[in-house]
Structure 1
């Protein structure tokens, strides 16, 4: 990615609070970790299916637990946020972090959505960063290995008895947004919607700027602030990410800052043309990562989108 902005990206992620193979068998283990409570209020009555219509005024308490999935021999670590008293089966959001990030990037969003009755799972990609709690090496990571991680997580979440499998949404930031987009396209019947925060559709252009052909890619190289393997760029050179995401026909929400120098706004504007149905919300002055009022505005848009797209059929 453009050399002049590497330091800016690292600073942005730090300020945002970031510490930021193919057939899959799924296993999970839940262990208590400190729970966070929101003020609890009455919810709307449950339907016969056990679902509860989201009450925008409600504030649910929720519990957090460690939860693991497995992709081949790799264990995937994550934390699940489970609302209390929000129904027997609840809509779920799977959060995917960006390049070099971890599950903590999604904490501010998970806390806000769980307080409104949504199960949220934030996890570490295998090899997603040197500090990842999941197995795997950064030298073995690519957009497609991360897709297989997300697919393993999806299957694990579908096995949870408190999750409404008709209402599973994907959400991701930066590279995690791009991974969420291509995964949603490959699993449209299972994914009710997608929320993409400054999705890194720039990845393919960046790889082509760095390397003219696969022969030019070294076995390992330093990308931004961590060492990656040949597979990271090789998988992108001949990949049309916009064509891949265009097969997803359900509604998509994109949120992007117009001062993002890591993934320019134009990449989300182009995605609007690729999707059949998509909405782009722009945060004036926001860069690559949201905090403060920008994060609160983004959360408002997320909740509006999610509440409008729950399937009660």
Structure 2
């Protein structure tokens, strides 16, 4: 028997002038001890990467639930899940809106200690988590990021040169296959100054990054720890983009230890 119960969540996302609304679906893992004994547990929302779904970060969420957190793995709209909608409508802002919708619902649950909320993110999910924490620093007690795509805005600007050169749709290489993205994806990244956002987030941040990552070079995370007021970098020798087997175990163990040290998880 696992140490947690698995549930599903559907949260409404309001439409804006630039983006349609909809529903974001998520996997939820609740520690059995909380269900059986009452009390409140910390909350950790896990953000997946580009072209993925919540299933990609579910193993991390399950480990966090076993460590005592209510852990949620959303499937961002347009991210890659079958019910998530077209990828051409997905942007960094729609993913941020999805994350905010999930957080808003989860914070109302009586078994959640909202004061101990942390975010986990891998690759583009790391950028989404970073931006959410920077926008609401008092609400996010800690961040744990794996090879975060913090240089995505600069990468898009280098690729196209100017915003009016971005086509209506374009291919973006992800894990050896092409994902079709829309002009709105580039538009919402274009003017983002991630370093300026990071400077305002003063809670603890852990970044775990493979030294052989060709998709997001480790130099991106090295620059981030110099910018963030309270950050530490764990280098994983020989690891590329994405952790498997022993590298996954190293990363998730360090993540749990960090969130315990930061006061999110119980010791």
* TM-score, scaled to structure 2: 0.91
Distance 1:303 1:256 in 2: 16
Write out aligned runs for 1:262-281 (5 A): 262-281=215-234
Is structure 2 residue 242 aligned with structure 1 residue 285?
Answer: no
Q: Does 1:183 align with 2:132?
A: yes
The answer to whether structure 1 residue 234 and structure 2 residue 167 are counterparts is no
Q: Which residue of 2 aligns with 1:84?
A: 32
* 1:15 counterpart residue number: none
Q: Does 2:11 correspond to 1:62?
A: no
Q: Deviations over 1:251-289 (max 9, x none)?
A: 101000001000000000000111000011011011111
The aligned counterpart of 2:58 is 107
Say whether 1:133 aligns with 2:83.
Answer: yes
Question: In the alignment, what sits opposite 1:221?
Answer: 170
Q: Tell me, in whole angstroms, the C-alpha distance in 1 between the residues paired with 2:168 and 2:221.
A: 31
Q: Name the residue aligned to 2:17.
A: none
DSSP-derived class of the 1:179 partner:
helix
> Aligned residue pairs: how many?
252
- Using the alignment, how far apart are the partners of 1:82 and 1:169 within structure 2? 15
Q: Which residue of 1 aligns with 2:18?
A: none
**Could you say what secondary structure the match of 2:79 adopts?**
coil
SS at match of 1:170: strand
Q: Relative to total residues, which structure has the larger strand share, 1 or 2?
A: 2
Name the CA distance, whole Å, in 2 between partners of 1:151 and 1:133: 19
For residue 306 of structure 1, report the CA deviation from its aligned partner: 1.1
In structure 2, how many angstroms separate the alpha carbons of the residues matched to 1:90 and 1:133? Answer: 30
Judge conservation of contact 1:93–1:121 (CA < 8 Å) in 2: yes
Structure 1: distance between partners of 2:135 and 2:208 = 22
Give the structure with the higher percent helix. Answer: 2
- Aligned partner of 1:244 in structure 2 is 197
Matches within 5 A, 1:2-81: 37-38=1-2, 61-72=3-14, 73-81=21-29
Structure 1 vs Structure 2 CA RMSD: 1.4
How far off is 1:161 after superposition?
Answer: 1.4
Q: 1:278 and 1:226 mapped to 2: Cα distance?
A: 32
State the distance in 2 between where 1:268 and 1:201 align: 8
Farther-moved stretch of structure 1 (239-248 vs 259-268): 239-248
**Contact 2:156 / 2:189 at 8 angstroms: preserved in 1?**
yes
Contact kept? 1:126, 1:132, Cα under 8 Å: no
**What is the alpha-carbon distance in structure 2 between the residues aligned to residue 240 and residue 132 of structure 1?**
32
Give the greater-gyration-radius structure (CA): 1
* Contact 1:91–1:310, Cα closer than 8 Å, also in 2: no
Cα contact 1:76–1:133 (8 A) shared by 2 = no
Query: Match for residue 214 of structure 2?
Result: 261
Secondary structure in 2 matching 1:184: helix
Which residues of structure 1 form unaligned runs of 5+?
1-36, 39-60
What residue in structure 2 maps to residue 159 of structure 1? 108
CA contact (8 A) 1:283 1:294 kept: yes
The whole-number CA distance in structure 2 between the counterparts of 1:241 and 1:90 is 31
Deviations 1:91-132 (A, max 9, x none): 111000000011011122122111111110001111112x34
